[in-house]
Chain A
Amino acid sequence: MKIVLKNIILFNPEQKLNKKSNLLIIDGVINKIGNLSNDDLKNARVFDLNDMYCVPGLFDMHVHLREPGREDEETVTTGCNAAASGGFTGVACMPNTEPSIDSAEVVTLIKERAKDHLVDVFPIAAATVGRKGDVLSPMAELIDAGAVGFSDDGVAIKTARILKTALEYSKMFDVPIIEHCEDETLAGGSMNESINSTKLGLPPLPSVAEDLIVARDIMMAEYTGGRVHIAHISTKKSVELVRQAKAKGLKVTSEVTPHHFHMTDDLVSTYNTNTKMNPPLRTQKDVDAIIDALKDGTIDCIASDHAPHSLEEKEMEFEYAPNGIVGLETQLGLALTELYHRNILTIEQLVEKLSINPRKILNLSVPKFEVGEKANITIIDTEHVWSVDIKKFKSISKNSPFHNRLLKGKAIAVINNDKMLFNDELIK
């Protein structure tokens, strides 16, 4: 396939690249950059993308694809379709499947299912067998099969003892332990503990439940020299702890979801189960701290925590509903609307947090715009105004609080693995 991208802004902070240019891609490989001849244009699909950003393909390092086990909610294929539609060319999927990703077989199954897709899928394997916190997972085998990190996501690694072992062992492969930070003895609440939980009569989940495990994990990273990545950070205190850890030079990184960088627990007021997630929506003070941490680099990545749930599961009593929302198809729009257009992050910082940093944390190479390099590209129109319509989601599940939300900024196209999706249409 021969593709020409005309009048794009080639933008790659890794290469210090920011210039208007044209790109010729042949069979998935960058063939030419700059002025193109008539010959170059011959038999090519030409896209004139006046002043849109052409950035290294976006990467979401925290998604739940539900396969194997809950294929009624999402599969590797539908999750990849959702990712591509949302502007992502790569995702890392979490191991809380059924069975969990704690054996080479399951890693292989997921890689197999994703094989022919535009989107690359990198499994995060369970840190402990069955995510139960008792026995270390076969990490070397899992890495060999294609796992890029370890996590017991859904819960924190159960004990300090097994965490210590996991960090020491995973050090051999220089991969991160990705932690869902929540003290299990304080877990079980339905929303953040605040005046709102009192007013709504919902069982509270205190922010200190997160802070405690963040503190534990940072200390353990320091002690073992292992790498810890704090998933979906949500509290002011956690952010402060990560900032201190980074100042000390520890191998600690973090990510935040779009909902945690711009929503507060005030939104739970109508018991909408699409405002129920774990970690829960917090307070304005926490959101303010997260914004500062995004700016100063304490938070390295933006990740969706894409958590598909069926309608039946979400249409119920708030306390009984499962946690989480889908996010792949709204994440970039929310980041552009809430961070870029509000002058909180520059486009450069956004590309770092949505593409470069997550790849680096998972030891994946960052796509480059050079002749001979594989084309792994997201085209972003920062000015495109659109309205979220859950009925158009490629994800099987529609559990999103953003239905009908007006957003500014969207991915117009993604290119990867010699495939191109343009305005949600696969280009042949």
Chain B
Amino acid sequence: MSLSGRHLLGMYNVPKNDIQLILDTAITFKEVLDRPIKRVPTLQGKTIVNLFYENSTRTRISFELAEKRLSADALNFSVSTSSVSKGESFKDTIKNIEAMKVDMIVVRHAAAGVPYYLTQISDSNVINAGDGIHEHPTQALLDMYSIREKLGKLEGIKVCIVGDIAHSRVALSNIYGLKTMGAEVSVCGPSTMIPKFIEELGVKAIHNIDEAIQENDVLNILRIQLERKAREYFPSIREYQRYFGITEARLNKNGKDILILHPGPINRGVEISSEVADGPYQIILNQVTNGVAVRMAVLYLLGTQN
């Protein structure tokens, strides 16, 4: 079995069989992570560059660990965003990296579409580790893996993504992936944070968090950006917390078993309260562990094609 594409640029148009294969392969790798010697030789001799144009220690470490567990040679190439405007062009950077004979590039970039652009100017396998507000496919895969691990399936599961959908790379990837796998997806947040045409993707948009809790099996809570620029979309953190924040009281009020996911890093007391973040419903740290297994699966499947 192998994946139908050479790259993982997003979850858009990724066939069900591919997602299934990645999730199933990840089960094996998760077992590896539980062994005393957590390393397999599958990608020995392969060189993988983690090309990070945006600071994201978590995602980078998760990929790096996955690469090392697979015995690949992992190189980190970080470019600070501030130097982008003056420094060498993206294309020149890629040409330089390619000249070092690499096999795969894991790319994180603040601009949407960069992973696709990368496939146009490079021969390497490309994995999108987050591009602008576009996609973050491995996050969606690990979210799906975590849901399936807990609930046994994805088909028919009702998932609501909560928060700033319009400025999230996680939301879109989750919507595509979950829908392909037969889950029912909705989004919930202030109307300023929901893209105007989102329902054309076949997801319901709601603005009442209690309704979201009552009607879903899973809540995937997105991180709220606290920087000033992002703040123009809602009046105050207090108001967001009050109307969209997930608290224990709110979960109790709706008296229902629900699974809570969060891609991290969390803002305690904003989109999620401490009791919930540490409470019985959440699987936030499982997600982190699963992230390594899922990324191992993706790297393995792309790195061993042909």
A318 CB to closest chain B CB (Å) equals 5
Name the one of B90, B114, B172 contacting A198, with C-beta atoms under 8 angstroms: B172
Complex Cα–Cα for A317 and B133 (A): 14
Q: Is the CB–CB distance between B112 and A195 below 8 Å?
A: no
* Nearest-neighbor residue (CB-CB) of B168 within chain A: A201
CA A123 to CA B134, docked complex, whole Å: 41
* B116 interface contact, C-beta 8 A: yes
- Contacts A200-B112, A200-B134, A201-B134 given: A271-B117 contact, CB under 8 Å? yes
In the complex, what distance in Å separates the CA atom of A313 from the CA atom of B110? 18
* B residues 84-127 touching A (CB-CB < 8 Å): 84, 89-91, 109-114, 116-117
Neighbouring B residues of A316 by C-beta, 8 Å: 89-91
Q: Contact: B169 with A317, CB < 8 Å?
A: no
Contacts of A320 in B (CB 8 A): 84, 111
Q: Which of B12, B131, B132, B166 has the most CB of A within 10 A?
A: B132
- Whether A195 touches B197, Cβ cut-off 8 Å, given contacts A200-B112, A200-B113, A201-B113, is yes
Query: Which A-chain residue is minimally distant from B165 (CB atoms)?
Result: A198
The count of residues in chain B whose C-beta lies closer than 8 Å to any C-beta of chain A is: 27
Residue of A nearest to B84 (CB): A320
Minimum Cβ distance to chain B for residue A13 (Å)? 42
Check A312/B112 contact, CB under 8 A, given A200-B134, A202-B132, A319-B132: no
CB of B135 closer than 8 Å to a CB of A: yes
Complex: how many Å from CA A195 to CA B196?
8
Indicate if B280 sits at the interface (CB-CB under 8 A). no
A195 to B114, CA, bound (A): 19
Of all chain B residues, which has the CB nearest A312? B89
Instruction: Say yes or no for B34: interface residue by CB 8 A criterion.
Output: no
Is B90 within 8 A of A318, CB to CB? no
Contact with B along A142-159 (1 / 0, CB 8 A): 000000000000000000
* Complex: chain A residue closest to B176, CB-CB: A199
Distance in Å: Cβ of B163 to nearest Cβ of chain A: 16
A199–B200 alpha-carbon span in the complex (Å)? 10
Which residues of chain A from 203 to 244 have a CB within 8 Å of any chain B CB?
203
Please give the distance in Å from A226's CB to the nearest CB on chain B: 35
Task: Given A195-B197, A198-B195, decide whether A315 and B91 contact each other with a Cβ distance below 8 A.
Answer: yes
Q: Does B301 contact A (CB under 8 A)?
A: no
User: How far, in whole Å, are A193 and B197 apart by their CA atoms in the complex?
Assistant: 9
User: Interface residue tally of chain A, by bracket?
Assistant: 20 to 34
Is A319 within 8 A of B111, CB to CB? yes
Whether the pair A270, B116 counts as a contact (CB closer than 8 A) is yes
Kindly list chain A residues whose C-beta atoms are within 8 Å of the C-beta of B206: none
Please report the C-alpha to C-alpha distance between residue A69 and residue B272 in the assembled complex, in whole angstroms: 53
Known: A312-B89, A316-B90, A316-B91. A202 touches B112 (CB 8 A): yes
Residue numbers in A under 8 Å from B91 (CB-CB):
315-316
Q: In the complex the two chains form, what is the Cα distance from A318 to B113 in whole Å?
A: 7
Q: Is the Cβ of A318 less than 8 Å from the Cβ of B112?
A: yes
Whether A198 contacts B112 by the Cβ 8 Å rule is no
User: Out of B116, B135, B200, which one reaches A195, CB within 8 Å?
Assistant: B200
Residue among A197, A201, A270, A319 making CB contact with B135, cutoff 8 Å: A201
Contact check, A318 vs B197: say whether CB atoms are below 8 A apart. Answer: no
CB < 8 Å neighbour of B131 from A195, A197, A201: A201
Partner of B133, one of A193, A194, A201, A271: A201
Residues A198 and B197 in contact in the complex (CB < 8 Å), given A315-B89, A315-B91, A317-B90: yes
Interface residues of A in 164-222 (CB under 8 A from B): 190, 193-195, 197-203
- Complex alpha-carbon distance, A228 and B116, angstroms: 42
- What chain A residues lie within 8 Å of B201 (beta carbons)? 195, 198-199
Chain B's nearest CB lies how many Å from the CB of A107? 33
Residue of A nearest to B121 (CB): A315
- CA–CA, A270 to B114, complex, Å? 10
Residue B14 interfacial (CB < 8 Å): no
Taken together as a complex, chains A and B put the C-alpha atoms of A6 and B215 apart, in Å, by 79
B195 contacts A318, C-beta separation under 8 Å: no
Q: Please tell me which one of the listed residues A193, A194, A201, A315 contacts residue B112 in the complex, with CB atoms under 8 A apart.
A: A201
A315 CA to B166 CA in the complex, in Å?
A: 27
In this complex, the member of B89, B111, B169 whose beta carbon has the largest number of chain A beta carbons within 10 angstroms is B111
> By CB atoms of chain B within 10 A, which of A194, A199, A317 has the most?
A317
Q: Which 4 A-B pairs have the closest CB atoms?
A: A201-B134, A271-B113, A201-B112, A317-B111
Residues of B within 8 A of A (CB): 12, 84, 89-91, 109-114, 116-117, 131-135, 166, 169, 172, 195-198, 200-201
Q: List 30 A-B contacts (CB under 8 A).
A: A190-B112, A193-B196, A197-B195, A198-B172, A198-B195, A198-B196, A198-B201, A199-B172, A200-B134, A201-B113, A201-B172, A202-B112, A202-B113, A202-B134, A203-B133, A270-B116, A271-B112, A271-B113, A312-B89, A316-B91, A317-B90, A317-B109, A317-B111, A317-B113, A317-B114, A317-B117, A318-B111, A318-B113, A318-B117, A319-B112
